[in-house]
Amino acid sequence: MSEEFDFDVAIVGAGPAGISAALTLAQAGIETVVLERGQYSGAKNVSGAALYGPILNEIVPNYWEDENSFERYLTTKKITLLSESKSVTIDADLRNFAQVPYNGVTVIRPKFDRWLADKAEQAGAMILLDTMVEDLVWNDKQVIGVKSGDEVLKAKLVIIAEGANNILVEKAKLAKKPKARHFALGMKETYKLPKKKMEERFHLDDKEGISNEILGYSKGIPGGGFYYTNQDTVSFGLILNMDVLTKKKLEAPEVFEEFKEHSYIKKLLKDAEMIEYSAHIIPEGGFKHMPKLYGNGVLVVGDAASMVLNAGLYIEGINFALESGKVAGEAAIEILQTDDYTKNQTKLYKKKLKESFAYKDLKTFRRASHFLENKMMFTYVPDLLTGLFEKLLRNNGYPRKRIVKSAIGYVFKKGKLFRLFKLLIGAVRSL
Amino acid sequence: MSKSNKPKTLEEKLDLTKITTDHNYAHIEINPEICKAKCTTYECVYGCPANCYKFTEGEEIEGPVVFDYVACLECGTCRLVCPHDSVDWKYPKGGFGVEFKHS
């Protein structure tokens, strides 16, 4: 095949996955172009958002030396269970995480993605903004480029990093249209909270941050709330399984508003001023529902490859995006040397990815998404635990029983013991 | 800073998000014929975080649901929840649509 190529590699999407691939390729001197439909990197992107410091450090060494790279490093993780007028929180204060490269850092995507894109540009990658890739260019069964409007751009390899709405992955015949039950809708509000007030409210020192996952009080819809602290804003949101939401005939914006009526949330957001509203779908099908990761002339990375993990304690996408982008970049460098861009060579990407933490984590937690579809986790369990604490702590003038006896009695009285037992077995098997 | 703790309406929330509308191109279109013939469950109305889908008020001239893409946050929910493939979903053209600044 003798094609004239404009670039060695064309990457669709300048999010963390696409940029991480571009950076890896550009650093190796490969002619790389990134096509981004937004006005800038991150303009279309919605996340919690936090990512792991050690992973970012691999991609941009000593990233923390640059003030614009992140908002706060995470030292506190809270898990909260909500029920009507009650809440129970586990508060893990982990000061060991306060050392570089930091365990986790919070980011604001339009800021972070732009910062990362700048790194790729400095390394020599070209980033075309305001450029929507509508289709792939084929030569027989081989992808040989991308199409934007009337423009055609030919490349030896195309890396699809288009995000969760993976239209091009379908066009590349690497996936069928996915099912709603494997996706969640995330709605998010960003609040302005002056730095001093934030640090007082959340007991943080300068640059320290907190993340909080919140289960329950979501109308029995699998999902949960979250908040992350940035420098002087709070990212707050609610994630809902879209299949259950629509089957229950509940309107998403209303479920979100009612969630915010809980006193736990109200206190959190008191006097904070909302400055942005956003929403996005989240692939939650996990390992079993990933598309094919490679084809003739094409590789798939990040959310476009459904590389998102929801294991309750962790809901991660950016880490896998960064890692899969890097691995795809490394694989592409080797593939380009062979001058063969068919599946015979592009399969190298999957082989390499299998060795990465991203693929291994998704595999380890492959049963988690199914487990977290169990509605008991979002209704019965928060009710049971918050109720139990109320029972143990309430003093109504009667002599008390021993704590353990009282607790066992309470759990028995709430019933559903067999299902609770099954749930525990499920947790042990999947998490 | 706002001292009022009165919750914002969805319209007020959507006003906070910068959207550059492409008046010449609707990136999402529904097929009222399909909606009218097949739909009894209206997943789009419940799933959309920006209320772009609304029940038709009064007589059902076109179909049971009306759609307007102007406030669309480009999340992709409607494409996935519609069981009848009545939602023709594309991204807006380059440079148009939402422009998040703090998300």
The full 3-state SS of A305-367, as one line of letters, equals HCCCEECCCCEECHHHHHHHHHHHHHHHHHHHHHCCCCHHHHHHHHHHHHCCHHHHHHHHCCC
Element housing A413 (H / E)? helix A403-414
Query: Interior CA angle at A68 toward A67 and A72, to 5°?
Result: 70
Report the pLDDT value the prediction gives residue A423, as an integer from 0 to 100: 85
Examine the pLDDT at A11 and tell me if it is beyond 80. Answer: yes
The answer to whether A158 and A7 have CB atoms below 8 angstroms apart is no
Is there a contact between A251 and B46 if contact means CB atoms under 8 Å apart?
yes
**CB-nearest partner of A110 from B7, B51, B100:** B100
Backbone CA torsion sign across B96, A154, A294, A112: negative
Q: Which residues of B touch A183 (CB under 8 A)?
A: 77, 80
Confidence at residue A299, expressed as pLDDT on a 0 to 100 scale = 98
The span from the CA of A242 to the CA of A247, in Å, is 8
Compare all CA atoms of chain A with the CA of B85 and give the residue at the minimum distance: A177
Does the pLDDT at position A405 exceed 90? Answer: no
Q: Scanning every residue of chain B, which has its alpha carbon at the shortest distance from the alpha carbon of A232?
A: B102
pLDDT at B24 over 50: yes
Q: What is the pLDDT of residue B1?
A: 46
Of B2, B17, B94, the CB nearest to A278: B17
Instruction: Say if residue B3's pLDDT is above 60.
Output: no
Residue that wins the pLDDT comparison between A404 and B85: B85
Give me the residue from B7, B14, B74 closest to A257, CB to CB: B7
A136 vs chain B: nearest CA distance in angstroms?
15
Which residue among B75, B93, B95 places its CB closest to the CB of A279? B75
Q: How close A227 gets to chain B, by Cα (Å)?
A: 12
Report pLDDT for B60.
Answer: 63
Ramachandran bin of A71, using left for φ above 0, alpha for ψ from -120 to 50, beta for the remaining angles:
alpha
A368-401 as b/e, with b when 16 or more CB fall inside 10 Å?
A: bbebbbbebbbbbbbbbbbbbeeeeeeeeeeeee
> CA-nearest residue of chain A to B99?
A43
pLDDT tens by residue, A73-118: 999 999 999 999 999 999 999 989 999 999 999 999 999 999 999 9
- β-pairing, A151-160 vs A298-300, is parallel
Flag whether pLDDT at A257 surpasses 50.
yes
Cα A422 to Cα A428: distance, rounded to the nearest angstrom:
10
Q: How many CB pairs under 8 A join A and B?
A: 148
Backbone angles phi, psi at A417, to 5 degrees: -65, -40
Residue type present at position A260? K
Judge: B49–A270 Cβ closer than 8 Å, yes or no.
no
Check B101 against A276: CB less than 8 A apart.
yes
Partner-chain residue, chosen from B14, B16, B98, that has the shortest CB–CB distance to A275: B16
Closest by Cβ to B43, choosing from A131, A189, A246 = A246
CA distance to A13, A97, A106, A207, A226, per residue, from A94 (Å): 35, 6, 15, 14, 19
Q: Which of these ranges, A23-32, A99-108, B35-44, B58-67, has the smallest mean pLDDT?
A: B58-67
Tell if the CB–CB gap between B76 and A46 is shorter than 8 Å: no
CB-CB contact of A143 with A155 (8 Å): no
Q: Which residues of B touch A (CB under 8 A)?
A: 1-3, 5, 7-8, 10, 13-14, 16-17, 20, 41-43, 45-51, 73-77, 79-81, 89-95, 97-103
Q: Is A85 helix (H, G, I), strand (E, B) or coil?
A: coil
User: In this prediction, does ipTM exceed 0.90?
Assistant: yes
Mean local confidence (pLDDT), A184-192: 97
Instruction: Please answer yes or no on whether A132 and B93 come within 8 Å at the CB atom.
Output: yes
Q: What integer best gives the mean pLDDT of chain B?
A: 92
What distance, in Å, lies between the first and last C-alpha atoms of chain A? Answer: 48
The verdict on a CB contact (< 8 Å) between B80 and A180 is yes
- Give the residue on A whose Cα is nearest the Cα of B2: A273
Chain A residues in contact with B5 (beta carbon < 8 A): 266, 270-271
Q: What is the pLDDT of residue A407?
A: 85
Give the residue from A196, A277, A289, A303 with the most B CB atoms within 10 Å of its CB, the best one to mutate: A277
B46 contacts A183? CB cut-off 8 A = no
Q: Where are the alpha helices (DSSP H) in A52-194?
A: 53-59, 109-122, 167-171
DSSP B47-101: H-TT--EEEPPSS-SS-SEEE--TT-----HHHHH-TT--EEE-PPPTT-EE--S
H/E stretch holding A156 reads strand A151-160
| Residue of chain A minimizing CA distance to B16 | A276
Q: Is A167 close to B95, i.e. CB distance below 8 A?
A: no
pLDDT tens, residue by residue, A195-251: 999 999 999 999 999 999 999 999 999 999 999 999 999 999 999 999 999 999 999
Work out the minimum CA distance from A2 to partner chain B, whole angstroms.
Answer: 31
What's the rounded Cα separation, in Å, for the pair B78 and A246? 10
Q: How would residue A67 be classed by pLDDT, with cut points 50, 70 and 90?
A: confident
Residue A399 C-alpha, separation from nearest chain B C-alpha, in angstroms = 42
Task: Report yes or no on whether pTM surpasses 0.80.
Answer: yes
